[in-house]
Amino acid sequence: MARHFIREIERLKKMVLALSAVVEESVHKAVNAIERRDAALAQRVLDGDIDIDHMEVDVEEECLKILALHQPVAADLRFIVAVMKLNSDLERIGDLAGNIAKRAIFLAREPRIEIPPQIPAMAEKAQAMLKRTLDALVNNDSAAARQVMFSDDEVDALHKQVGDYVKERMKTHPETIEGCLQIFHAARHLERISDHASNIAEDVIYMIDGEIVRHKNGGKTE
User: For residue 220, is pLDDT > 60?
Assistant: no
Task: Look up the pTM and report it.
Answer: 0.91
Tell me, what's the pLDDT at 1?
58
Report the sign of the C-alpha dihedral through residues 184, 34, 157, 208, in that order: positive
Q: Residue 187: name the closest of 109, 132, 107, 112 by CA.
A: 107
Per-domain residue ranges of the chain: 2-209
Helical axes 177-209 vs 142-150, angle rounded to 10°:
150
* Beta carbons within 8 Å of 57's beta carbon, 6+ residues apart: none
- Judge contact between 17 and 84, C-beta under 8 A: no
- Classify burial at 123, counting beta carbons within 10 Å of its beta carbon; exposed 0-12, middle 13-18, buried 19 or more: buried
* Beta carbons within 8 Å of 213's beta carbon, 6+ residues apart: 146, 149, 202, 205, 206, 219
Q: Can you list the alpha helix ranges (DSSP code H) found in 48-117? A: 49-70, 74-108
Question: What's the mean pLDDT when you consider all of the chain?
Answer: 91
Report the sign of the C-alpha dihedral through residues 190, 192, 194, 196, in that order: negative
Residues 165-202: pLDDT tens digits?
999 999 999 988 999 999 999 999 999 999 999 999 99
Tell me, what's the pLDDT at 104?
95
2-209, CATH topology level = Methane Monooxygenase Hydroxylase; Chain G, domain 1 (1.20.58)
Residues 13-43: pLDDT tens digits?
999 999 999 999 999 999 999 989 999 999 9
* Beta carbons within 8 Å of 111's beta carbon, 6+ residues apart: 37
